[in-house]
Amino acid sequence: MTTTVGFVGAGGIAAVHLDSLDQYDGATLVAVADIDGERARAVADPRGATAYTDGHELIAEESESLDALVVAIPPFAHEGYEREAADAGIDLFVEKPVGLDSEVVAATRRELESSGVVTQVGYVCRYAQITDRARELLDGRQVAHVDSEYWVSVPDTSWWSSRAHSGGQLVEQSTHVFDVHRYLLGEVETVRGDGTDGLLADGLDFQDATSTTLSHESGAVSHISSTCASPESRFQVRVVADDAFLELDYFEHSLSGVVDGERVTFQGDGSWYQREFEAFLAAVRGRGDDVRSDYADAARTFEVTLAAREAAETGDCIDL
């Protein structure tokens, strides 16, 4: 039986997931909505799907035929699509971050949990092969410290430079790093931080470089350095554990380090987005149980990023 899928959003990240959908045997696109009608039609027409310019209309018109809905829109544009889909019994894949308002996200989480629909949020690093390999190597070891860098330039996207639309770098981009830290070290108790305002990047109304320290319930401590003003991009994670040191490069999909005195290396193939989306579709079809970040879990990462942003802006220690 073919799984029917709809998309709200037809931009850059939607294109990545559409490519994964196209390669999946047993699922098909039936509808796509985007406020840019031409963009929606460019996605829908070659696939024999229906194009809409309103996501609410798509859900209302296609609710009887949809098995799953992908919400791939900017963080400011979450306008209840998730809750409408859940009310109709439609399983959900939501791109990160899940929103910008803590109360709205919490209310959505409660409704999705009570609906019983499958949910997955796009924390793709959990599906990176280097993450799997790191967890294998760290299994049974005490992890004491993780230190990460997420250094990039300002995206060429009009809404991104506005805190009201993106939430700032920590909420919209570096959320991937905070999620990796939660995935490797467990829940966060407190966050401390600092940051710079307009020191490097022009046209932003949020900090362009931040340094945050997380204290975890496990007793471990971790650190995340973020900037959106670097001419060179890097996303690197370093882990110190019992008789182990690992360095993960998420842009190069490589892992290296030393474990029990032996050098280890591993090269992933970069198929993280495909693995992530296939896991979601398998769960929708009842043929898999590899959803690694449901909406409730993603909401916890969201709260950590809000706390980190507040800590960096105020210099206060924020308890979660």
Span 204-219, pLDDT tens digits: 999 999 999 999 999 9
For the four alpha carbons of 288, 289, 292 and 293, in that order, the dihedral sign comes to: positive
Q: How many Å is the Cα radius of gyration of the chain?
A: 20
Pairwise CA distance, residues 89 & 116, whole Å? 8
pTM assigned to the model: 0.96
pLDDT in tens, 58-109: 999 998 999 999 999 999 999 899 999 999 999 999 999 999 999 999 999 9
CA 92 to centroid of chain Cα atoms: 14
Q: What's the pLDDT tens digit per position in 98-118?
A: 999 999 999 999 999 999 999
pLDDT bin (cut points 50, 70, 90) of residue 287 is confident
Taking residues 9-36, what's their average pLDDT?
96
| CA 117 – CA 111 distance, rounded (Å) | 10
Contact of 99 with 75, CB cutoff 8 Å = yes
- Neighbouring residues of 287: CB distance < 8 A, sequence distance ≥ 6: none
Please give the full DSSP string across 228-247, using - where no structure is assigned: S--SS-EEEEEEEETTEEEE
pLDDT tens, residue by residue, 227-253: 999 999 999 999 999 999 999 999 999
Alpha-carbon distances of 178 from 17, 148, 188, 199, 320, rounded to whole Å: 22, 9, 10, 23, 14
**For residues 172 and 162, is the Cβ–Cβ distance under 8 A?**
no
Share of the chain above pLDDT 90, in %: 96
199 pLDDT higher than 90: no
Side-chain-side CA neighbours of 201 within 13 Å: the count stands at: 28
Q: Mean pLDDT across the stretch 257-278?
A: 98
Q: Give CA 234 to chain center in angstroms.
A: 17
CA 312 – CA 296 distance, rounded (Å): 25
Whole-number Å distance between alpha carbons of 26 and 215: 44
Mean pLDDT of the chain: 96
198: left (phi over 0), alpha (psi -120 to 50) or beta: left
Report all structural domains of the chain as residue ranges with CATH numbers, in order of start: 3-117 (3.40.50.720), 125-268+301-319 (3.30.360.10)
Q: What is the pLDDT of residue 28?
A: 97
Give the 3-state secondary structure of residue 266.
strand
